Amino acid sequence: MSTKSINTIVDRRDGKLAMAHFYVAFIALAIGGLAGLLQTLVRSGKYELPWGIGYYQVLTVHGVVLGLVLTTFFIMGFQLAAVSRTSGALTDKQRMTGWIGFWLMTIGTVMAAVMILLNEASVLYTFYAPLQAHALYYVGLTLVIVGSWIDGAALIMAYASWRKANPGKPSPLLTFMAIVNTLLWIVATIGVAATVLFQLLPWSLGLVERVDVLVSRTLFWYFGHPLVYFWLLPAYMAWYAIVPKIIGGKIFSDSLARMSFILFLLFSIPVGFHHQLMEPGIDPAWKFLQVILTFLVIIPSLMTAFSLFATFEMFGRSKGATGLFGWVKKLPWGDARFAVPFIGMLAFIPAGAGGVINASHQLNQVVHNTIWVTGHFHLTLATSVILTFFGISYWLVPHLTGRVLTKAMNKLAIIQAVIWAIGMTFMSGAMHAAGLLGAPRRSSFSTYGGSEQAAEWIPYQVAQAVGGSILFLGIILMLYIFINLAFFAPKGEQEFPVGEVADAAEKTPMVFENWKLWIGITVLLILFAYTIPFIDMIQNAPIGSKGYKFF
């Protein structure tokens, strides 16, 4: 696509920046995984935490470190590498910007972590007011977000230089996708930044006495749903643009891939009310409107599923496969770079179906805040997304460190994914089942005063502990492979695979690069979905709440 000579190796200095992000991400995986294991053990009723550590303190660690830290650092590192690989090495100024972003995020993470360890912030990673954490917890999380903006600025600057050097040409697909995800992130995080900076921080510092709880939650969930698409889109980048190359096939259609990313940008933000369906103070008609918008992301999801399977089938048939499903056998099942993300894709089928249930106006009543929800996002985030991130690491980490993925590590990686799938089947399956019986999420072990109903949930909690133990084994394996690839694997050149478009697919229209248009529509949709209910909320607001520290 580009006339500039395409480099096939990420610049070494950019590689260092990306690896710095990955070190933090995998340390987070280690800490968060241990917390996850402890949670399942406590919830089985057969184990108690030592040294006065609280269950909710551990759960705060797990949510912050895996939901916010691991994801943001991995995604930023991956996107930096992808842009450097497809649009050329960053300039010194761009790379410096990236490093500033990285250090701000890291300092913020340490601040938040210290506050959690001191039990000054056991408010979980969603920090709902009027539970009030120490001000430094909010400052820490703010730094993580501001740091990620600065990281994002480095990406946007690199994209702008590419466009300037290649006038009238569509940008490389991976760069384009990284930019869409960065824009989505910036637009979304404005909501959480607003509630933290203007409401929670002054309130926790004692500058104001009261906080408007509903406004704060609404700003949080304006951010909370696009957050999940910010996690998902990097996985889609790999599925659309990298996995085809790994199997030796072609990208089905460049234009459709771009279109689906644009649709995610448009429809993932004005939908936060689907997390607030059970809340007072919001008119149900507005809730329903956002439910409709929520369901529109099903369209790009269907497009993605079609493209992926079309790529797989085209490849299989080009290798002489016959019959309806003959192509399945031709896929490279022994290659971890393909097999691991593929297991992630499979998990997305039940995960997506569960998501449709969650977002359905009334069905939500059955599952809202039950452990079903936790089961759901351990399929989406902790399986589909995370296994794809693991699959990316298997070639990206050695590519950046000048090493190779050996046969032995490749095999271990496949075993890792199978262990993960088995552990998750137990844990997530049992969570879904217990949730349907009413078992609440975010809850330590309890017999609820000997209640018969609660007694029915306990066998499922034991099953979750079995699954959790298997998953923890998977985490140890993953860390072992990561350390091998980063420090010990034999020196060599590991490919950074970038897919090419199938010959039949035609030229990519330039309209996809028209950011004024897409950001304009995004803003209009947000204003449409939020303006009136938000004004209602402020006009009819009850007296605000003082802070409580019930931990």
Partner 1 sequence: MHIHKFEKIWLIFGITTLLVFLSVIGVSAFYLGNQPPSCLATINPEKVDTTAPFDKPGLKKVEGKEWDYELVFVASAFAYNPGQVEVPKGAKVKVIATTKDVIHGFEVAGTNINMMLEPGFISEYVTTFDKAGEYLIVCNEYCGVGHHMMSSKIEVVE
Catalytic positions, please? Answer: 225, 229, 376-378, 441-442
| Residue 63, token pair as written in the block | 């949510």
Report in angstroms how near the CB of residue 505 gets to ligand HEM at its nearest.
34
DSSP classification of residue 501:
B
Scanning residues 110 to 149, which ones bind ligand HEM (CB under 6 A)? 124-125
Number of residues that bind partner 1 (CB under 8 A): 74
DSSP H helices, 335-406, are: 336-359, 364-367, 371-379, 386-401
Q: Is 471 in the site for ligand HEM (CB under 6 A)?
A: yes
Residue among 16, 319, 442, 549 that touches ligand HEM (CB under 6 A): 442
Residue 128 touches which member of ligand HEM, partner 1, Cu ion, none, C-beta under 5-8 Å by kind: partner 1
- Measure the CA–CA gap between 493 and 8, rounded to whole angstroms: 11
E strand or H helix at 325: none
| Sign of torsion over alpha carbons 375, 292, 280, 220 | positive
CA proximity to 182, closest of 222, 145, 224: 145
CA distance 140 to 27: 18
Q: Which of Cu ion, partner 1, ligand HEM, none sits in contact with 225, Cβ below 5 to 8 A by type?
A: Cu ion
Binding mask 429-448 for partner 1 (x = CB under 8 A): --------xxxxxxxxxx-x
Q: How far is the CB of 532 from ligand HEM (least distance, A)?
A: 31
Q: How far apart are CA 32 and CA 526, in angstroms?
A: 34
Those residues with Cβ within 8 angstroms of residue 514's Cβ, 6 or more apart along the chain or in another chain:
none
- Rounded to whole angstroms, the Cα distance separating 246 from 513 reads 27
Least spacing, CB of residue 56 vs partner 1, in Å: 7
Stretch that binds partner 1, among 2-10, 95-103, 144-152, 534-542 (CB under 8 A): 534-542
Task: Say which entry of ligand HEM, partner 1, Cu ion, none residue 11 contacts (CB below 5 to 8 A, set by partner kind).
Answer: none
Residues 373-432, interacting with partner 1 (CB under 8 A): none
Of residues 9 through 68, those in contact with ligand HEM by CB under 6 A are 33, 36-37, 39-40, 59, 62-63, 66-67
Q: Select 299 or 454, whichever has its Cβ closest to ligand HEM.
A: 454
CB 422 within 8 A of CB 471: no
| 225 sits near Cu ion (criterion: CB under 5 A) | yes
- Matching residue, tokens 């607003």: 194
Give the residue with the Cβ less far from partner 1, 49 or 476: 49
The DSSP-derived string for 122-150 is -STTTT-TTB---HHHHHHHHHHHHHHHH
Q: Is 48 in the site for partner 1 (CB under 8 A)?
A: no
**Could you tell me if 134 and 115 are in contact, meaning their C-beta atoms sit under 8 angstroms apart?**
yes
Give yes or no for residue 134 binding partner 1 (CB under 8 A): no
Tell me: does residue 130 bind partner 1 (CB under 8 A): yes
Sign of CA dihedral 436, 438, 443, 449: negative
Token reading at 421: 């799938």
As a whole number of angstroms, the distance between CA 367 and CA 356 comes to 12
For residues 286 and 222, the answer to whether their CB atoms sit within 8 Å is no
User: Residues 497-516: x/- map of binding to partner 1 (CB under 8 A)?
Assistant: --------xx--x-------
Which x/- pattern over 162-201 shows residues binding partner 1 (rule: CB under 8 A)? ----------------------------------------
Nearer of residues 7 and 443 to ligand HEM, judged by Cβ: 443
> Is 499 an interacting residue with respect to ligand HEM (CB under 6 A)?
no
Binding site for ligand HEM (CB under 6 A): 33, 36-37, 39-40, 59, 62-63, 66-67, 70, 124-125, 374, 378, 381-382, 386, 441-443, 468, 471-472, 475
